[in-house]
Structures are given as structure tokens and as C-alpha cells.
Structure 1
């Protein structure tokens, strides 16, 4: 049933939204940190828990413990890598990009931001990031998008890769959340259209994601649907799992916004 709302009700709802948005902006720092510098610093050998090179077109999943960091780096050339995640203790809790965008008032995820679950908790903190060029709106490739772009050539895609990951974890395709596409420079123009902005990338980019709970994390290394390159040639991507380090109480990701503060409070309550 379609509910028609009066102009007065619509205006009142808009006013409440704008008031809440202003409070969020007023709390937030005036500027987040600059992008992380390149080249990425070397990870000490004793801090490396595991290092995996994901070939172009392939997938990989891993367990990650609270306060460990996942560094995803383009050491072998450009590629877009999609990521999904589940709470290891309760996989019904999973990465939620709509809430991540809505709660932080931005689609621009970068250093200092966090990534929320669908239960209002923080799953990842973005502690380092050399590009800020990540897509949290479109998701990854599918068999249909690949067929439209590459024709009849046999190519792997992100949706099918994540179905395989979910199956190996004892989950169903319905458990797969919307994927975050790392190193996908997607922006929305004034007309509401998606645009690919390659100038946001810097070559050997990297991002570091600190785990804020024990998780199962899946990756898919396939071209983004908007990648303008006509050939299906994803480069290998390196994922380094780095040993846990307890963050400081005034850690930027924990204090940057009122919504992040509440998210970490939810984490603490769940752990109590």
C-alpha cells in the first residue's frame, strides 16, 4: 500500500534529518588526516601473521582477530579487490555499507573512518589509506556484468567468488552482504550518475583495516563493473595479516564522529 505524505509532513521529516546531520557534522573533526604516504612502509617480519597473494580473478578468505590489521596492497599493478566480512562468533552479523555511509554522512571512506556491521557495531577501522578511492555503492561484478562487458570470453566474477567463499564457510548466498570495492575510484556526479575517477589512484596504493572484532573476511580480485579497461586483466593483490596492537584510547577512528563513539560503545557492551 502506497502512503501519501503531506507537504507539511515531508518538510518536518526533512527538518529533523537536517538537524541530526548538523549535529553529526558539528561533532566531527574539521578535517580528517591526509592520505597515507607512498611507498607503504615495510611490515616487520615478526609482525606478519600471514601474507597471501590473490591472483587476478580469484578469491581468498581468512580469519582475523580483534586488533589485527589487514593490509591490502597493489604491489603487482592495478586491480580492484572486493571485500565482505562476518562476525566469527555470530555470522548473522555482517558488514553493512548502507549503515556505514548513513552513520558517517559520507560515501568517501578513507583514513580515520570506520566500517559498521548491521548490528551497529564497528567491524573495521581504516587506519592507513593512500587513495581514499573505494566504492561502497555499486558492489562487485556478476556473470551478467562480465558478459555485457567482455562478451563470451570466460571470466570470473565477484558474485560467484563470494558464493564460493560463503559455501566454504558453511553460509548461504543470502548471507553475502553488499561488498566494499577497494581501489575503485567511483564518485557520484551532480546528476546522480556513477563516474570512474582514475586520477584518485596513485599506482602502488594500499589500505590498512584494523579489525575491531574477530571476523571471517572474504576477498575477490575481479575488475569493477565501471573499470573502463576493455580487457579482463586484473593484477595480483597482496593481503598481509599483521599482528594485533591495542589502539590508544584517543585513537582517531574511535573518536572522529559521535556515531563511531556509539559504535565502539556497542562493541564494548557485546564483549562485556
Structure 2
């Protein structure tokens, strides 16, 4: 790895958990320099030669002219195979921010997004059961950008991997539900984590609200119970690692 400046922090996940709102809030802070697009998608790019990666295209997404704390937000990083390992190789001193949302609500929101986009055509009940087999045909094997409704919710497993790669004092974990209800405590925690002065007070905001359309009904009690049971052991692991609980 060549010497030179590195990006200071990354919002590494999770998808559908308020990462866009957090990015927008941080973009208003003059002490923070964010990437020119919210999701850079560098460390999940399988076309990069990761044996000898060229960080030039990545660094080109940032303004280096002003002395700022620089960061980006690509929420697939926490989930994608080897993305965290690539980040650790790039900057072992990076500070990582992880937003978590109730995994059942996250899965339902994720499916609604893909269904509204026309990427997904099958009902949610099928997707979280038989539809998981589609990941066996994905590249890399077992990982899928769109159909990973269930898999992205295994937070305990993901956090355990994160803590194996980065010291815990380089990781800040927040709950999406808290950011949405009142952003100020979360934003204060982020600035303190980044070594910056407290930000100006903000009002709650809604970003990327789900499209109003016919989804064939809401989240069924049967599907929720199925997912709660599926996630039970992993949620226990998450609680033991972080003290955070959902459901």
C-alpha cells in the first residue's frame, strides 16, 4: 500500500436503515468532506484487482483541497464478501459507522424497494423462503445485491466479523429508529466519534420513503414470525456483542 492520505471514515451499512439521511445531515457540516456521490461502491467492486488495487479512482470522488474529515456511505460494505477486509487493508485506522434497523422491517423495506423498481417480481413470502436459493446462482456465490432480503439482516454475524478486523473504538453503531425519531443525539455521537465539534441542531427528516403503490398487502404476521424465528440466534449474538436488541 503506497503512502498518502486516506479516507477517514465510512458509513458501512446497513441498507434501508437511514444511511442516506445520515449522509445528507453530514453533508451540511463544513468540517466534513463527503464523496461526490453517496454510494461510491469501491470496496464491493469485483472488477478491481484486489491483489494490487489502484485507489486513484476512489480518491477522485473526494475534494482534497480543504482540510476536512473525509468520508463516504456505501451500506453494502458490511454485507458484501471481503469488503470489510479490503477496507482494513486500505486504512486499518478508518472509523466505521454502522446504522442498524430492525431486520424484519429492513427486509420488508428492501423487498418493497426492489418490487417498486421492477427488479423483483415475486411476492415477499416466496422471496424470504424459496427465493433465497437464488443466491446460490449469484456471483460471488451466496451474495446478491438485490435478492439479499434475509441475508443482510444477520447483523450479529456481520458485527462479529467487523470487530475481528477493527478495534471496537473505531466502530460506532447507531439504531436507525433513534436517528429517525430525533437525529440530534445520533449526530452528536457521530461528531464526537470523528473528533469534531457538536453539530448544529437539526429537525427529523424523511429520505427515500417507500413508493406508494400496491404491494399486494402489508407485512403479514406469518412472514414476520417466520423471520423473527430465523433471526433469533443471530439477534442473541448481536445483543451479546453490542447490547443492541430488536423485536
TM over 0.5: no
TM-score w.r.t. the length of structure 2 is 0.28
Larger CA Rg, structure 1 vs 2: 1
Query: Which structure has greater helix proportion?
Result: 2
Structure with bigger RCO (C-alpha 8 Å, 6+ apart): 1
- In proportion to residue count, which structure has more strand? 1
